[in-house]
Structure 1
Amino acid sequence: MVIPTYNEALTIGKAIDRTRTSVPDAHILVVDDASPDGTGAIADELAELDDHVHVLHRGGKEGLGAAYVAGFGWGLSRDYAILVEMDADGSHQPEELPRLLHAAENADLVIGSRYVPGGRTVNWPYKRQAISRIGNTYTRLALGTALRDATGGFRAFRASALRELDIESVASQGYCFQVDLAWRAVRGGLRVIEVPITFVEREQGESKMDGRIVREALWRVTHWGAVHRARQLRALLGGSRR
């Protein structure tokens, strides 16, 4: 379980405890970006008491995508079979992990989805929910993918899939990082499935979402979509000439 943190001192302990209870055999890697509030130190203390908890300290705040890439690299180098993305703020319910892990037995990537039947959000501000829904609709239209929640950040990857996705070349952050990996998986012919989850608005701490992340996602998805459609058009024209 790869859990990136930046100023999550109020929630990291509970997130780890709930995860250990839900999936006792799982190992947890906290990837901390030198949180000023001492999150990394708290994680270190928990790791000293539990050999299933590990901490990867980074030099500063470098973004969600870079944190996950570092965490995945750590896990792949130690031959873990499945690597999971999960927030530390309580938005992702650790009690739903068994469902994701069970689904991963027959898939390369499992996305915990808010927008498939059975999925839902709880106490999420209307503005945030609107941005998410519009972003996912735009992603489906631009990329021609059937995924309902390409921006969702609660997901499980098989290690073999991550090795195919060339994660070291991923430069995207935030929403866009999630779209990037899902889009790579779809283009690569990997089996991607969505399972319903309940996404709960955090009760403590502050969201890391900002306008820069939204703008990056819009630009990158538009670019990827244009390239994808151009390739489709070239293939169509090439086939018609024959």
Structure 2
Amino acid sequence: MAEPPGPVLVVMPTYEERDNLAPALARLHASVPEADVLVVDDASPDGTGQLADRLAAADDRVRVLHRAGKTGLGAAYLEGFRHALTGEHQVVVEMDADGSHAPEDLPALLAALDDADVVLGSRYVPGGRVVDWPWHREVLSRGGNLYSRLALGVPIRDITGGYRVYRRTVLEQLHLDTVASHGYCFQVDMAWRAVQAGFRIREVPITFTERARGSSKMNGAIVAEALWRVTCWGVSHRLGRTTPQHPAGPVAEGAHTPG
């Protein structure tokens, strides 16, 4: 694996992931031993936060950020990103704690930073796949990605995926304080901002596996938010308008998908 351009911080939001957290961290550090981890726990009632504290006490690569309550995946990641920007880390990774994002894929994502600013772990490029997902979830996911790709006019095949790597400079320039999206839509928002800001985006195939323990946090309200926001962004883009949430910037010529 090519060396990443500086220290790596994996931001891992948790809400009721007590059974999944320790295995996820063990697999991560087996794959990328030098990576630091920031667990962002939303006051999980099942004791995930307390477990994270114990794991952090035993391993100085692990840190824990406790939030007052559950306010959405996007808010958790944003707080993790802001924390990352206060330190020395030059690479920031989004990764789920439920095992759906294989830590064994992370070396390939990090290596792709050689010619990219943002690397998206993609289920829908050649070599990517989904394992053990109900058919309706995959149909919803593929449909949401197709709609987003057409509405926004970007070549990204998996713009809703949550396994991704950012160079620090990207997060410093994406106006994080104006991001209001949550859940499913947060990932589209961040990728769309990166495209408009002219950053090089690359997709790398991953294997996404349905969680073995616990339940998905996806719900109808999250999907509805995503459809509404993507539609508004697409219409504004085609009319040549910009908003404080999406400042003007060139479309990234480096945004591409393999194959």
One fold, TM greater than 0.5?
A: yes
User: What is the rounded CA distance, in whole Å, between the counterparts of 1:115 and 1:164 in structure 2?
Assistant: 28
Q: Specify every segment of 5 or more residues in structure 2 that has no aligned partner in the other structure, as ranges.
A: 1-9, 242-259
Letter of the 2:127 partner, please give it. G
* Percent of paired sites with the same residue: 60
What letter corresponds to residue 186 of structure 1 in structure 2? V
Residue of structure 2 equivalent to 1:102:
111
1:1-242 equivalences under 5 Å are: 1-231=10-240
Unaligned ranges ≥5, structure 1: 233-242
- Partner AA of 2:133 in structure 1: W
Counterparts of 1:163 and 1:54, CA distance in 2: 21
The separation in 2 between residues aligned to 1:98 and 1:117, in whole angstroms, is 18
One-letter code of the match for 1:16?
L
- CA shift, 1:79, in A, is 2.2
Q: Secondary structure at the match of 1:231?
A: coil
The one-letter code of the counterpart of 2:235 is: A
Query: Per-residue deviation at 1:104?
Result: 1.6
Residues of 2 paired with 1:145 and 1:55: CA distance?
A: 35
Give the whole-Å Cα distance in 1 for the aligned partners of 2:163 and 2:113.
Answer: 13
Q: Amino acid of the residue matched to residue 193 of structure 1?
A: R
**Pairs aligned (count):** 232
Aligned-pair CA distance for 1:143: 0.3
Q: Which runs of 4+ in 1 moved over 3 A?
A: none
Please report the TM-score for the alignment, with normalisation by the length of structure 2.
Answer: 0.89
Q: CA deviation at 1:34?
A: 0.1
The alignment's TM-score, normalised by the length of structure 1, stands at: 0.95
Give the RMSD, CA atoms, in angstroms: 0.8
Name the structure where helix makes up a greater proportion of residues: 1
What is the distance in 2 between the residues matched to 1:37 and 1:138? 36
Structure 2 SS opposite 1:193: strand
C-alpha distance in structure 2 between counterparts of 1:166 and 1:88, whole Å: 26
| Paired residue type of 1:125 | P
**Alpha-carbon separation, structure 2, partners of 1:169 and 1:47:** 31
Q: Which has the larger radius of gyration?
A: 1
Which residue identity is paired with 2:53?
D
Give the 3-state SS of the residue equivalent to 2:208 in structure 1.
Answer: strand
**Mapped partners of 2:139, 2:240: distance in 1:** 31
